[in-house]
Structure 1
């Protein structure tokens, strides 16, 4: 088997997909539009896409799974600043001496993700 998508339950699929599209540089599927119940951010093959699916229930607990991202072409700190500028918030800062560590952020709907060092 091959992993096809990482699926995220959310309140507004198009809005959240747009955030992730801007963060990753991957496009929102051309067939998706505001108001859709499912919106795909298309990753380059063979990476799985990010699928955002509308659910009625609000997020109430910490994520049991989250994505760890490694910068490509920027430093970890530059990527953290960029993510915050796009609408993420810093949840926990685990940066240490000598450029070690990572930062845990939350996307606009509160889903955790990490940005690690290069």
Structure 2
């Protein structure tokens, strides 16, 4: 038998519930009904039974670049539209690695500074 990825865990120095709400809105996935503001662990569920995103409060802040990050591909919108949506939700843009032919990605950070990339979407 093999192991299954149950959660992708993200450490956060602030409020796990608030960071989970950001990712819930960005990914269109629900925050677990069992979690509430003030909890030290908050889960963003995957309705398709894939791994959830688990946000866990830790005492130390982020100090270096993440060794692991998520690459997002927009569905039903362009990369530029997805970047604008992420910015409106509280993300920051860190770098634009878009190539002249449209390939590439844009590196962003969530409200706690965790990096993620937005790749070209289905519509460009």
TM-score normalised to the size of structure 2? 0.92
Q: CA deviation at 1:43?
A: 1.0
TM-score normalised to the size of structure 1? 0.96
Q: CA deviation at 1:47?
A: 2.0
Aligned counterpart, 1:48: 51
Aligned partner (choices 7, 10, 14) of residue 8 of structure 1: 10
Query: Equivalents in 2 of 1:45, 1:22: separation in Å?
Result: 16
Aligned counterpart, 1:59: 62
**Alpha-carbon displacement from aligned partner over 1:34-69 (angstroms, at most 9, x marks no partner):** 000000000122321100000001111110110101
Aligned counterpart, 2:76: 73
Instruction: Give unpaired runs (5+ residues) of structure 1.
Output: none
Aligned counterpart, 2:37: 34
Query: Equivalents in 2 of 1:83, 1:99: separation in Å?
Result: 19
Query: Equivalents in 1 of 2:64, 2:99: separation in Å?
Result: 27
Q: How many residues align?
A: 118
Query: Equivalents in 2 of 1:97, 1:44: separation in Å?
Result: 36
